[in-house]
Structure 1
């Protein structure tokens, strides 16, 4: 009698922005034990809920995808059976869902493996973000360096550090860089291409963002033979992981850019296919470029500061300035640093980066008697002045149960409700991108 075909693992991914959906969905595919999973996507309703265009740009297929509130997601987790749940959320969201899931699964003999982690470079709020993620079965670290830092934080407060699992960023890949185009490119060739990877909140101020844009324009004018691309994260009216009060789309109107400078959107991997020099302040795109051996410049023009995130690249060999780039400098990365960041191509290291996570998940799923209850570090005993506020933001009480009147509708909104929601999001974006900067300017008078 032929052996039965094993069922593919079923994974639920809850994400609160386009970048976290990309990370969560791609991570699910790489950590699934036993082959390609059945992937159910859940988008947490909020200010950064991805638009259809943003989802299409990510390019990740899900077997189902719906928008939910936190309480609706908790209900779905009690009504449907999953092997793994990936929480691709900001730290406070992870903590709230860990407590909510703990109550929702109370008394069950078996529950899914819960996984969480970070979208990219962890350059701020290390202790805060990590402790908010504590309690998941796996806390993924994107590099050896991150794994060491994560364990040190947990052990330093007396929390169990065994959940920390070293992997890599799930979206690395693409063809290795083969060098710039020759001076006599044949018909159909391309010019030397410089890409500036913009970030929504780094830097945040008008003066610094205008400075970066002016230097990009200047570089394009100094090198008319080059194609200079400003890679944007979102279109006007969209939000991503971080707020963007001063979109470059607005600032560029006053910059009078030359014809060889263009603003572009699209999948970063496709943009890197034609990139000869990647320039950024601290974007995760730098790690994608380094993985492909594309020359990568991390700017020091605004200083090397924790608030900018470029301090993460000290020792990388990539820190440089616009003046040097204008003069033709192309940074050379330090190989040891690249290896410690988990972005080293070659030697098959990236191909095996997720083996440990898959093996660990398979072991947890096969554990006799099922998994123990979720036990986050933050409880009403360890953080009574902090935890209730985090839970309340997601309409959960101190006991992890939904508060009375908590929004739980996970059905498709009617036409009137949809109009109201769009108007509310539009008003929020207007407040962030127009009213707030104006108030700050008035305060500086």
Structure 2
């Protein structure tokens, strides 16, 4: 449907975790050209119909996680890869956002190419990354190649993405610079005045936890102890541990050692609390954001909140904090306890898509314009053309597709789960039990086996 049509654009988002659903849905709302011809109409989701699909797997978000994300859709259902492909064959959409891990994106690109091969019109297909890209740059990018738009969340990422594609001889024209879609909120106005009347909020320190960084019990316990010690040193402050998920829930990354569990062994001071909820709401009352390498640091910097990326465990690729080299935000707990406050480097911030200078309102214009042109293209869009094919990657691609029950040509394999009616009570019970067993294995059994192996 042309962007100038009168009815709302139909948009689909396929996501495999709570954080990717948040990124995908918000991105769709930001980049969909408006049905009235005014891009601002869709900046907050007006003018589109959004259908959400949650890819069934270990990280499929729970109802609580979906509610915490705070993004609504006109419809939302859980699907397998094959069920999703069938829905894409039966439904007609204008825009499709693939908010998946790289392998999932690649599998869907081949599956979609197959089911759309005899269709004169197809949606514009968009993909990208939830946050900071600090590992598997080439691998993740080439798995995403073939989408009409591969979104880069910053100028730096756009340059890196194009260099990778051009370096292997792949078309880099899909790379489109945008920004993280969940930046926003009121700018930081400064520390609370301790001399103000009673009722003024306390100075608040927030540690943004990550499910898999750091990984070891020793390192996670160290960070928790330092946070608790900071609360004891500063009883006048409120110290919050911001958690992504509750025990038993999974997010984008597996969390074997939840901070909730580790904190049960400690005598926590009264000014220390564990909190959940929307990150933006927590940042509304934050005076100092501390993390190892969470994307929350970029949200905080966007709002000009003092932000620290910890160096206590080293500056290492495995931690992701190497991405913040040059930011001016690197510091240790010892420095924070002594009163250090970081000063972010303006040039570094500008290259990271943080848009603290007020340019965020125009960050998605280029993507909207490109999508509008593709929607208006005479004769429809050409077939999807991923870089990986049975010719270019015969030893890699078939395994990726098989994990999603697809053959080398993108066709569902025999015995693959097919789309059917809503699963019955028995199937739902079995599915919940299987997920529970998996999560128990990750969070209980695996750490025990690892400790035994270290003896």
TM-score of the pair, normalised by structure 2: 0.96
Give the corresponding residue for 2:27.
27
1:108 partnered with 2:116: no
Q: Aligned pair in 2 of structure 1 residues 5, 360: CA closer, same or farther (>3 Å)?
A: closer
SS at match of 2:444: helix
Distance in 1 (CA, whole Å) between partners of 2:421 and 2:78 is 9
Query: How do residues 111-190 of structure 1 correspond to structure 2 at under 5 angstroms?
Result: 111-190=122-201
Equivalent residue in structure 2 for 1:361, among 361, 366, 371: 371
- Asked if the contact 2:10–2:93 (Cα under 8 Å) also holds between the matched residues in 1, the reply is yes
Give the corresponding residue for 2:427.
417
1:402 partnered with 2:386: no
Could you give the per-residue CA deviations for residues 364-416 of structure 1, whole angstroms, max 9, x where no partner exists? 11111111100000000010000000000000011100001111235322111
Distance in 1 (CA, whole Å) between partners of 2:131 and 2:96 is 20
Give the C-alpha shift of residue 5 in structure 1: 7.0
- Asked if the contact 1:268–1:285 (Cα under 8 Å) also holds between the matched residues in 2, the reply is yes
Distance in 2 (CA, whole Å) between partners of 1:404 and 1:186 is 71
Equivalent residue in structure 1 for 2:66, among 51, 55, 59: 55
SS at match of 1:254: coil
SS at match of 1:86: strand
Could you give the per-residue CA deviations for residues 95-148 of structure 1, whole angstroms, max 9, x where no partner exists? 000000000100211110000000000010000000000000000000000000
SS at match of 1:60: coil
1:208 partnered with 2:219: yes
- Asked if the contact 1:102–1:373 (Cα under 8 Å) also holds between the matched residues in 2, the reply is yes
Give the corresponding residue for 1:79.
90
Distance in 1 (CA, whole Å) between partners of 2:420 and 2:170 is 35
Distance in 2 (CA, whole Å) between partners of 1:38 and 1:378 is 32
Give the corresponding residue for 1:233.
244
Give the C-alpha shift of residue 284 in structure 1: 0.3
Could you give the per-residue CA deviations for residues 48-91 of structure 1, whole angstroms, max 9, x where no partner exists? 00000000000111000000000011001111110000000000
SS at match of 1:351: helix
Q: How many equivalent pairs are there? A: 441
Give the corresponding residue for 2:39.
none
| Residue segments in structure 1 that go unaligned for 5+ positions in a row | none
Could you give the per-residue CA deviations for residues 130-175 of structure 1, whole angstroms, max 9, x where no partner exists? 0000000000000000000000000011100000000000000000
Distance in 1 (CA, whole Å) between partners of 2:420 and 2:331 is 48
Give the corresponding residue for 2:395.
385
CA-based RMSD of the aligned residues comes to 1.0
Distance in 1 (CA, whole Å) between partners of 2:161 and 2:308 is 27
Give the C-alpha shift of residue 328 in structure 1: 1.1
Distance in 2 (CA, whole Å) between partners of 1:373 and 1:5 is 23
Distance in 1 (CA, whole Å) between partners of 2:365 and 2:10 is 18
SS at match of 2:77: strand
Give the corresponding residue for 2:37.
none
Give the corresponding residue for 1:272.
283
TM-score of the pair, normalised by structure 1: 0.98
Give the C-alpha shift of residue 186 in structure 1: 1.9
- Asked if the contact 1:68–1:410 (Cα under 8 Å) also holds between the matched residues in 2, the reply is no
SS at match of 2:300: helix
- Asked if the contact 2:114–2:411 (Cα under 8 Å) also holds between the matched residues in 1, the reply is yes
Query: How do residues 11-26 of structure 1 correspond to structure 2 at under 5 angstroms?
Result: 11-26=11-26
Give the corresponding residue for 2:320.
309
- Asked if the contact 1:69–1:410 (Cα under 8 Å) also holds between the matched residues in 2, the reply is no
SS at match of 2:362: coil
Query: How do residues 289-308 of structure 1 correspond to structure 2 at under 5 angstroms?
Result: 289-308=300-319
1:10 partnered with 2:10: yes
Equivalent residue in structure 2 for 1:324, among 335, 339, 356: 335
Give the C-alpha shift of residue 191 in structure 1: 0.3
Give the C-alpha shift of residue 188 in structure 1: 2.2
Distance in 1 (CA, whole Å) between partners of 2:68 and 2:328 is 31
Give the corresponding residue for 2:203.
192
Distance in 1 (CA, whole Å) between partners of 2:420 and 2:450 is 38
